[in-house]
Amino acid sequence: MTMAERKRRLVSDELTEAALQLLALKGFDGVTVDEIVNAAGVSKRTFFRYFASKEDVVVQFLADMGVGMRTELTARPAAERPSEALLHTVRVPVAACAGHSERMLRVVQLILRTPALRARFLERQAQWRDDLATELTARLSLDPTSLYPQLAAGAALTAFDAVLQRWSNSDAKEDPMALLTEAFTLLAPSLDGITAH
């Protein structure tokens, strides 16, 4: 990473952190871009160099999640059952949430309880589903018109979403990794019922 890239990342992280702290205190509708830039100590122009909207600040941490999941799926052993590969794939963002419990809980609750942010989150998940489906198609040597990759990727992301909901609703009292394992135990018969070749 170059010095300029490190600086951009630092400013982006500062803006995101300032926004999350304000949003946790005042709620999504109670915070303005002006308040975020004042808290971060940057100009409004700088803010819009990094983010198109207030929503983008909040979902910033989601940007790398999809890439991380696809990278994990690509790295899984070729002979691994689809359910096992997808469990490990979805475990990446769930572990990130569990690992930074207090901060991530605030972010997840904000997203799930704010209609505008929930909509953006679902948009991201649609892109992740397509990316994971593309990877599954290649991984299992399936015909590109097969329904299985989209359905399997969708099921994995539905499990991810259900786990986040339960974890969020319990105020992080429930173990998200245990919930994820339970979800994939339920999904495994369907996910593994495909003949790969």
Provide the pLDDT confidence category of residue 196 given band limits of 50, 70 and 90. Answer: very low
Residue 107 has pLDDT above 60, yes or no: yes
**Predicted TM-score (pTM) of this structure:** 0.81
Residue type, 82: P
| pLDDT tens-digit readout, 51-100 | 988 888 877 666 667 778 999 999 999 999 999 999 999 998 888 877 76
CA atoms of 187 and 22, how far apart (whole Å): 39
User: Which superfamily, per CATH, for 60-191?
Assistant: Tetracycline Repressor, domain 2 (1.10.357.10)
Mean pLDDT of the chain: 88
Decide: 90 and 187 in contact? Cβ < 8 Å: no
H helices within 27-114, ranges in order? 33-40, 44-50, 54-58, 63-75, 82-99, 101-113
Tens of pLDDT, residues 164-191: 999 999 998 999 999 999 999 999 999 9
**pLDDT value at 9 more than 90:** no
Whether the CB-CB separation of 114 and 121 falls below 8 Å is answered with: no
Instruction: Kindly report, residue by residue over 117-149, the tens digit of the pLDDT.
Output: 888 888 889 999 999 999 999 999 999 899 999
For residue 66, what pLDDT is reported? 77
Using CA atoms, how far residue 87 sits from 73, 125, 152, 176, 185, in Å, is 9, 16, 11, 12, 9
User: Contact at 8 Å (CB) between 97 and 110?
Assistant: no
Answer for the pair 90, 157: CB distance below 8 angstroms, yes or no: yes
Q: Which CATH architecture has domain 3-53?
A: Orthogonal Bundle (1.10)
**Residue range 12-43, pLDDT digits in tens:** 888 888 888 888 788 888 999 999 999 999 99
8 A C-beta contact, residue 85 and residue 73: yes
Domain ranges of the chain: 3-53, 60-191
